[in-house]
Structure 1
Amino acid sequence: MTTDAFHPDHLQPGYMVGPWRILESLGSGNFGHAFKAERDGDFFTLKMAVRPAPGLVGETREVLQEARQVDGRMRHEAATLMANASQPGIPHLRAVDRWPHASKGYLYIVTDFVPGEPFHIWRKRARPSAAQIVDIFIEVVRVVAQLHRHGVLIRDLKSEHIIIHPTDHKPVLVDLGSAWLPGGSLLTEGLAPGTPHALPPECVAFVREGRWQQGARFKAAEAGDLYQLGVFMYEALTLCWPFDPRMPLEELLVAIETVLPRAPHRLNPEAPEALSLIVMRLLEKRPEDRYTDASALAQALWEAAKERSKKSWKVPLEFPPEGPAPMTQDEVEERRLQKQEAERRAQEVLPQKAEELSEKQALEQLSFLTRAIEAQVAAVEEKEARSKKRQRRAVLVAGACLLGLTLFATGWWWFTPHPSAALIEKGSAFVSTLNNSRPGKAVFVWLCATFSLGCPAAQVRPLPGDCPQEVAEGMRELGLLGLYAVVIDINQPGSREQEGVYHAGKIVSRVVRRGWATGTLPEGTLLYGQLWTEGITKSWKDAVLGRYTEALLPDGRRIPVCMILGDWTGLVTKNEGSKPGEARLPREWEAQSVEAWR
């Protein structure tokens, strides 16, 4: 089939990209789309960079920078795969080209198709044992070690980028767009693109120092990949992250740099302690305190795997249904000793005398803390006013405890001899964060990170509000108000009569023409939005809330919009068979433009 598609978002099954025939979408990200493609009876993965459409926008500095970054990621991945063509555990590169124009089109690469599921999805479905998980750890680390020997640094290693083969359960590393290789070009100023909650502490320190604003670039090292392996293994053992990605970015960065996460075997008693200790070493704040290299890590995993004959290693590694295990007195003592050891190491590296806080500075910190807590309590009260009284009382009690702990921390700081500057930098999170540039936020982060986890939780439904005035006026001027028929998720192929399975997060829908539709957006228009799938009801039934904020027309124009999925409520009742985190809905449904969010 030939195609008149103008933008990668419009590619559909049956369309041709050069000699490659698109079969289905494999997913989308901020930098590109992935498709399953076919040629001469063989299957391949075609990944296409997404950037501003050529000729539609002025070549401003921002547009040119975005194009270089998006194309640069694709070139990095192609160069990495080509330089490691014989390496097992990564896809084989087959082609690099542009579409639809040979020189000005969108850059794409073609690799062998890798069947299977991303690790985090496979982990939840397959319910593997610790013995199975350690085998995957060892294979992933072997691939990383081989890439390191060739001078390649991955820089964005996470479970979503590890595909587990459906038959032999061998892992394959995909999406190497952030990788660095000798002689490669630089993607961006400062840090390479990555995942915030998996950033190594040394990257966070670089960001907080602000040197990137003067054009400095972070010098990546193997230790950064080892830290991200630790984040991946932590998730595999606990189904949580060391630091909650839902935290505000500023607070998340403070936590990564200063807070010691709970050990996996403390959160999940089913996790083998031998693996847990390996993970905690990988998550050390100082790069030199981690393993010397990936080969040393592989050897440590091999030694730990000698325990696999134990019965506890052969049963499914489940997270306790009642949630994380409470902190025991042994763990409290263990964390105290770990903190002391970190302080001792820091004193050896950089012995300095810290300046004592003046009374005025202490009062300023107390004022900052009080305002921060008051703001948090006010925000909680505003949200909880719409919930049950029992929930509101619980939150208020938690807020009171938080305020008491914070005031206690501040008073403790005033009357305790101050440690050295090195201890402040790398020692106790409770002490050190009080003396940085964001004292109030840091204490709040410590409390949150100590008593909460980066585990999946119920979503918060967005609040009602007016559509931005300029957007509403623009829709009226263009005559876009009306009712539309949409395919809810363009990445799920099938007929209009079939169901789709939907997850919370970003969504791309496509407008289709139906006789009852009154809207004027042309068929093929793509709608970019967000789905909320948990904690929402409609007529006492579980429901999904969907909102769209941008439309991409077939001619390439992008238009801001306010649109909702379903009727005037913006809600769609889930079909029978829906599970937590997996909402079943018709593949095709109605959407409509609105001037206010319900």
Structure 2
Amino acid sequence: MHAEDWQVRPGALGPGTEVGSWRVVERLGVGGYGAVYRVEDMTRPGDFYALKLALRREDERAEREVHLLMTRGIHPNVVRLHASGRWPHPRTGYLYFVMDWVPGPALHTWVETVNPTARQLAETLGKVALALGALHDRSVLHRDFKPEHVLIREKDGEPMLLDFGVGRYAGADTVTTSVLPPATVHLLSPEAVRFLRTHHKRPGARYEARATDDLHALGVSLYRLVTGHWPFSPELPVDLLYLEMESVMPAAPADFNRRVPRALSDIILRLLAKKPEARFQSGHEVHAALVAAVALGHREEWERSLFEWEDALDEAGAARRRIRLPEGPTRSTTPAPRGLVLGPVLSQSRPHWRRPRAVPAPGSRGARRRGGLSPAVLVVALAVAGLGASAVSGWPLSPVVEEPVASLVAIVAGGPPEAVGHEVAREVEPSETAAAAAPPPAAPTPAAVAAPATLVEDEAPVKKKLATAPSIPATPRKTPGLGSVGKALCVGATSAALSCTSAPVRAEPPSESCPPGAEAAMEKLGIIVGNIHPVDFPGTRREYITVREGYTEVEVVGYWYKMKSPTRLRGRLIIGETRVYGRMTEALTPDGERIPVCMQLLGNDKNRGFIRQPGGGPDTARVFSVGSVRAVDRFE
């Protein structure tokens, strides 16, 4: 360790700190690889820039980003590089580089606050597509394109593409060892997901991204911008999410947001095609398609705003205007296999930041609209038909992010957080118009016919003494390889192909590897293998609660070394004969940062798993709501 490391904290520089000839004004954000600051040029007071400072001295990723911006990233709609150096020592210090500071909102925030017309959005995204096309022509891939990585410059409305922290160009050295490069999971292309499924156990296997991966991410982002919803919900369990991304085509945006021109909707669906050869092959093609759609379309449909306005009150009680988001898509364009009998969808976890949505009265227009086949039901249908069952058996159950990236998790209707005038996004309050997560069914009664499954919300108040942990469909013990899909099949399917009547075997869970990069990410937080810290289930007290097998969240009590408070740990519960085992694979910080971790739940006796108490059902158990987690290098 260098001597000055004791005094230098590159992720926590205070205002007035001098880095080379730049004076820190404020910290804009910090991610897994670097911290971004707004700085003032001391030689020209009043000129402000964005300075990105690596968190590690020998950071090949930062060096690659500097080289990319300096040699191949020059474009009017790409953030410019002005200077680079090392600090505090010119040879051995941390690498920093100075870029344009772009005052203005992130792309999704611009859409939600300005509510542009379809033509304005097409013109803006056309410029972004041209920028991607120019980069691809120079063999540069962004590999983490999403709405918060595009800022709309205040002075002229120009879109500026930024954050090439995981970008790559031809001839660049590989700096990661995972199957997939660090990425945002729900923006991956179907071919990347397919490669992960078939190669995640093969040492040395690496997916080679192409231009069509960036263009697919552009399509996912466009879908989110014109509907307010992601085509593939990041709230799904990872195995279900992967299967949906690989096999299910989302509903057309124009089918549930009638203000979206059909031609724009078709362009988005083409960008989301499951086969890369069916997509646009370059950003130039996307731009040309958008120009033609606007030129040949009816003027009135392109000149109306993307969303309707509605009146609302802010937290202070003042009147304000906000956009009204359409109901989320309930029907996929992927048909269910013939002869399949479907039942209700099991409940999904509702994030704590979402506002509950009122339940439509039976037979009402809202109830009928929500009665379509949801993507989750169709994923189940595909699995029964043999389209996905074998695939799920090989899924890694942890996200593919190798290390925490300098970008934050989506929080508004599945959307990314706000980024204003800088590279790293800030957390924002959720939009009051955001849709709630998929609600639980009123009763899990198998359907008698292949009719659309109706999603019904339970609005009964939560009682503290009966508080339950967030749940996701449990993993049936007698159906190896189906993961979260298996339980959903057992609830709704009466197909003879599946036998769901046997009592689950409550053996101890098998050994399992940690998520890629988890141990290194924990060490950055000061947490090493063997460390123990108290946790509890969110919203509970020191009490006995009922938990369900499957996805869960627990909350870290207070601060744990560098882990911020309150941080939630995400993972899954596995119910055994005498204990409930928990394997936590991801930490969600209050900033929205998602960090891979490898931690096991411990009971109050400090042994692996919470102690089961009397009570519970086939897939539920009674446990005490307070326990601990231990950092591990492998789940045993």
Structure-2-length-normalised TM-score = 0.54
Matched position secondary structure for 1:529: coil
The one of 147, 152, 159 aligned to 1:159: 147
Q: Which runs of 4+ in 1 moved over 6 A?
A: 387-391, 405-410, 439-442, 459-465, 547-550
The whole-number CA distance in structure 1 between the counterparts of 2:303 and 2:253 is: 18
Partner in structure 2 of residue 44 of structure 1 = 49
The one of 195, 212, 233 aligned to 1:223: 212
The whole-number CA distance in structure 1 between the counterparts of 2:272 and 2:295 is: 23
Q: How does 1:178-577 map to 2 (within 5 A)?
A: 178-189=166-177, 190-211=179-200, 213-307=202-296, 310-318=299-307, 321=324, 323-324=326-327, 336=335, 431-438=385-392, 454=414, 456-457=434-435, 470-471=532-533, 528-530=564-566
User: Structure 1 residue 28 and structure 2 residue 27: aligned?
Assistant: no
The whole-number CA distance in structure 2 between the counterparts of 1:253 and 1:224 is: 15
Per-residue CA deviations over 1:459-485 (Å, capped at 9, x if unaligned) read: 8999799xx994369xxxxxxxxxxxx
Matched position secondary structure for 1:101: coil
Per-residue CA deviations over 1:362-407 (Å, capped at 9, x if unaligned) read: xxxx9xx99x98xx56x989x9xxx99999x9xxx9xxx999x999
| CA spacing shift, 1:155–1:26, aligned 2, 3 Å | same
Structure-1-length-normalised TM-score = 0.57
The whole-number CA distance in structure 1 between the counterparts of 2:167 and 2:75 is: 15
Identity of aligned residues (%): 31
The whole-number CA distance in structure 1 between the counterparts of 2:328 and 2:286 is: 27
Structure 2 runs not aligned, ≥5 long: 309-322, 397-412, 416-433, 440-461, 470-529, 536-552, 569-587, 592-598, 600-625, 629-636
Per-residue CA deviations over 1:478-499 (Å, capped at 9, x if unaligned) read: xxxxxxxxxxxxxxxxxxxxxx
| CA spacing shift, 1:232–1:548, aligned 2, 3 Å | closer
- Which residue type is aligned with residue 438 of structure 1? V
| CA spacing shift, 1:212–1:17, aligned 2, 3 Å | farther
Considering only aligned residues, what root-mean-square deviation do their CA atoms show, in Å? 5.0
The one of 78, 92, 98 aligned to 1:90: 78
- Which residue type is aligned with residue 187 of structure 1? V
Relative contact order: is structure 1 or structure 2 higher (C-alpha 8 Å, sep ≥ 6)?
A: 2
| CA spacing shift, 1:86–1:454, aligned 2, 3 Å | closer
Partner in structure 1 of residue 21 of structure 2 = 19
Structure 1 runs not aligned, ≥5 long: 55-66, 341-365, 414-427, 443-452, 474-504, 512-520, 533-546, 551-559, 561-594
Deviation, 1:454, is 4.9
- Which residue type is aligned with residue 224 of structure 1? D
Q: Is the 8 A contact 2:11 2:34 kept in 1?
A: no
Matched position secondary structure for 1:214: coil
Per-residue CA deviations over 1:291-323 (Å, capped at 9, x if unaligned) read: 132222211111012156622322221168473
The whole-number CA distance in structure 2 between the counterparts of 1:44 and 1:212 is: 44
Q: Is the 8 A contact 1:270 1:317 kept in 2?
A: yes
Q: Is the 8 A contact 1:23 1:36 kept in 2?
A: yes
The whole-number CA distance in structure 2 between the counterparts of 1:266 and 1:280 is: 12
Per-residue CA deviations over 1:249-287 (Å, capped at 9, x if unaligned) read: 222111100111111111211111111100100100111
Partner in structure 2 of residue 118 of structure 1 = 106
Matched position secondary structure for 2:97: strand
Q: Which moved more, 1:88-97 or 1:156-165?
A: 88-97
Matched position secondary structure for 1:436: helix
Partner in structure 2 of residue 107 of structure 1 = 95
Matched position secondary structure for 1:10: coil
Q: Is the 8 A contact 1:308 1:314 kept in 2?
A: no
The whole-number CA distance in structure 1 between the counterparts of 2:376 and 2:70 is: 54
Q: Is the 8 A contact 1:464 1:596 kept in 2?
A: no
Partner in structure 1 of residue 617 of structure 2 = none
Matched position secondary structure for 1:107: strand
The whole-number CA distance in structure 1 between the counterparts of 2:293 and 2:246 is: 28
Matched position secondary structure for 1:223: helix
- Which residue type is aligned with residue 147 of structure 2? S
The whole-number CA distance in structure 2 between the counterparts of 1:104 and 1:35 is: 21
Matched position secondary structure for 1:45: strand
Matched position secondary structure for 2:208: coil
Partner in structure 1 of residue 634 of structure 2 = none
The whole-number CA distance in structure 2 between the counterparts of 1:315 and 1:389 is: 29
| CA spacing shift, 1:153–1:322, aligned 2, 3 Å | closer
Q: Is the 8 A contact 1:243 1:454 kept in 2?
A: no
Q: Is the 8 A contact 1:155 1:225 kept in 2?
A: yes
- Which residue type is aligned with residue 323 of structure 1? P
Alignment size in residue pairs: 403
| CA spacing shift, 1:49–1:439, aligned 2, 3 Å | same
The whole-number CA distance in structure 1 between the counterparts of 2:259 and 2:26 is: 39
Deviation, 1:127, is 1.3
The whole-number CA distance in structure 1 between the counterparts of 2:81 and 2:169 is: 16
Matched position secondary structure for 1:313: helix
- Which residue type is aligned with residue 11 of structure 1? L
Matched position secondary structure for 1:168: coil
Deviation, 1:231, is 0.9
Partner in structure 1 of residue 61 of structure 2 = 73
Matched position secondary structure for 2:11: helix
The whole-number CA distance in structure 2 between the counterparts of 1:380 and 1:132 is: 36
Matched position secondary structure for 1:25: strand
User: Structure 1 residue 133 and structure 2 residue 121: aligned?
Assistant: yes
- Which residue type is aligned with residue 82 of structure 1? M
Q: Is the 8 A contact 1:76 1:176 kept in 2?
A: no
The whole-number CA distance in structure 2 between the counterparts of 1:216 and 1:409 is: 27
Partner in structure 2 of residue 568 of structure 1 = none
| CA spacing shift, 1:120–1:406, aligned 2, 3 Å | closer
Q: Is the 8 A contact 1:204 1:257 kept in 2?
A: yes
| CA spacing shift, 1:432–1:296, aligned 2, 3 Å | farther
The whole-number CA distance in structure 1 between the counterparts of 2:391 and 2:385 is: 13
Deviation, 1:243, is 0.6
The whole-number CA distance in structure 1 between the counterparts of 2:130 and 2:378 is: 48
Q: Is the 8 A contact 2:82 2:98 kept in 1?
A: yes
Q: Is the 8 A contact 2:235 2:349 kept in 1?
A: no
The whole-number CA distance in structure 2 between the counterparts of 1:121 and 1:335 is: 31
